[in-house]
Amino acid sequence: MEPLERYRPIIDDFEAFLEACDRPLGNAVRVNTIKASVDRALETLDEGGLAYEQAEWNPRVLRLETDSPGSTWTSFHGLTHGQEEVSAVPPVVLDPQPGERVWDCCAAPGGKATQIAALMDDRGTVVANDSNLGRISALRFNAERLGATSLAVTNRDARNYSLNPFPFDEFDRALVDAPCSCEGTIRKNPDALENWSEDHIQSVAGIQKGVLRRAIQATREGGTVVYSTCTFAPEENEAVVQHALENEPCRVVDFDLGLDYSPGRTAWNDETFDASLDRTARIYPHQNDTGGFFVAKLEVTA
């Protein structure tokens, strides 16, 4: 927990935060509405004798009382998908609409990409990209299991992504769920901080900036880009969004969440960020008994 001490000055009720980080994370699933309505999925879980609790902020998200959410009947047949509760937030903030063209820049293993397809009623185009070839098989498997026929899977570096050979030259929306230092996953991955270092944070921040800039460039004027990470580091969160504001035509916009969260930082150490960064969201483990996440919503302005 020692690396997390650097956040003591910016987190309210820091002791509750540390205590939550030290507790194991429960299991959650997302109802896959491509294959089943929420009511049908709940009925199937009831028939199987599986206890669950619907998330107040999103009826499609269930806290499931089982140690193996991926081994249930509903998961095997694609009615549900094991996905951490807070991980379902970015696609909801993205708010994709049926018929749109959406880019998930860092999509594997496919939880958010297939959620985007479901939110679009599987109508439109979801380009699910990942630079890691080894993770593409999991992405394809999940797309097939969940029946997401609107997905097109690609294996490229998102920082210099080309839309060839797609028959369009810009997206309506893009999700950058960026590779990060994963501090916010400590409840499910107790070893997440084992190789932590500030050098690593700076290294991944460079990649994040490149991916976010390309996502903005590839999205139409008036389109939406959502940037998210599962870490607490301002260097990977607000500083990355600040870099985009300074180098690309975009602005931070408001969004509503049914979850408790803290506003984004407008300063960190000796660095000052644009005042609009307080419109971003920091979700801490002790606020909703979840993992940790950061989410920012941007509008492309030109």
> CB–CB of 158/214 below 8 Å?
yes
Torsion angles phi and psi, residue 43, rounded to 5: -60, -40
List b or e across 106-120, with b for residues whose CB sees 16 or more CB atoms inside 10 angstroms. bbbbbbbbbbbbbbb
DSSP symbols for 86-146: GGGHHHHHH---TT-EEEETT-TT-HHHHHHHHHTTT-SEEEEE-S-HHHHHHHHHHHHHT
> CB–CB of 124/151 below 8 Å?
no
Q: Which residues contact 34 (CB under 8 A, 6 or more apart)?
A: 78, 114, 117, 118, 121, 122, 146, 147, 148
The reply to whether 230 belongs to the active site is: yes
Give me the catalytic one of 21, 105, 180, 230: 230
| Greatest Cα pair distance in the chain | 57
Q: Is 153 left (phi over 0), alpha (psi -120 to 50) or beta?
A: beta
The sign of the dihedral angle between the CA atoms of 135, 140, 142, 145 is negative
Residue numbers annotated as active site: 230
